[in-house]
Structure 1
């Protein structure tokens, strides 16, 4: 079994660039989740104080919007992870490419939006908000 030669400094730098983008997307995804929980909770609290199904409906719409936004960032993160793996595997790519859409590989929206993590985060949130709308209507 032959060992792979060490990475050149430019290859290491490229991997560092990609890792920074991946970390930024992961952090943004975390922030979107925390904002979704906070905003949804605030709307539901307001809706249950002075019972208003309209306010609860806004919470459902906001949770769904946050779900889509977070799906976008998670999809981008997955594309960059694939690009990172290709660069680390020394695939023939343009030097320092950051074009994850072209070189990162396909990542279907549905697969991301309906992943276990997203369903547990946003599916539960949307379900609770919807139950509040039904209860207050």
Structure 2
């Protein structure tokens, strides 16, 4: 395999790895912040509005996580493109993923993919249930 092609694939794989790591960190921060807000709200005079603040980081991190997943999918398309280049084609080390945007779902639809919904919707449900209990008691 061409040394330049191999190096370009390594660069792309590095970006893909960072996107996955960012997604993992966002999920950890989401759980940490929501749990922290619940701890602060756990007083005798808990107001449901204080608990509702947990919606803000949850929604924000959900959208940001969707963006990282979208970028990861674009870079996977770039990886496949470079991987299938012939030995006689030149390697330009381009990291431009714009030509592949039509091959990947829209960013907002990726936000509602199964992998993200199965993580963030239960957190939102827990926030809502906690708000209801805070209103009742």
Matched, 1:44 2:44: no
TM-score when normalising by structure 1: 0.86
1:32 to 26, 29, 35: 26
CA distance in 2, matches of 1:78, 1:86: 13
- In the alignment, does 2:58 pair up with 1:63? yes
Query: Which residue in the other structure is 1:4 paired with?
Result: none
Kept in 2: contact 1:80–1:100 (CA 8 A): yes
CA contact (8 A) 2:19 2:72 kept: yes
Aligned ranges 1:83-94 → 2 under 5 Å:
83-90=78-85
Preserved contact between residue 60 and residue 130 of structure 1 (Cα < 8 Å): no
Contact 1:15 1:87 (C-alpha < 8 Å) held by counterparts: yes
The answer on whether the counterparts of 2:73 and 2:104 sit within 8 Å (CA) in structure 1 is: no
**CA offsets, 1:84-122, max 9 Å, x none?**
011111187871110112345433123311111101111
Aligned 8 A contact 1:40 1:63 in 2: yes
Structure 2: 5+ residue stretches without partners: none
RMSD of the TM alignment (CA)? 1.9
Residue 54 of structure 2 aligns to a residue whose secondary structure is helix
Aligned twin of 2:2: 8
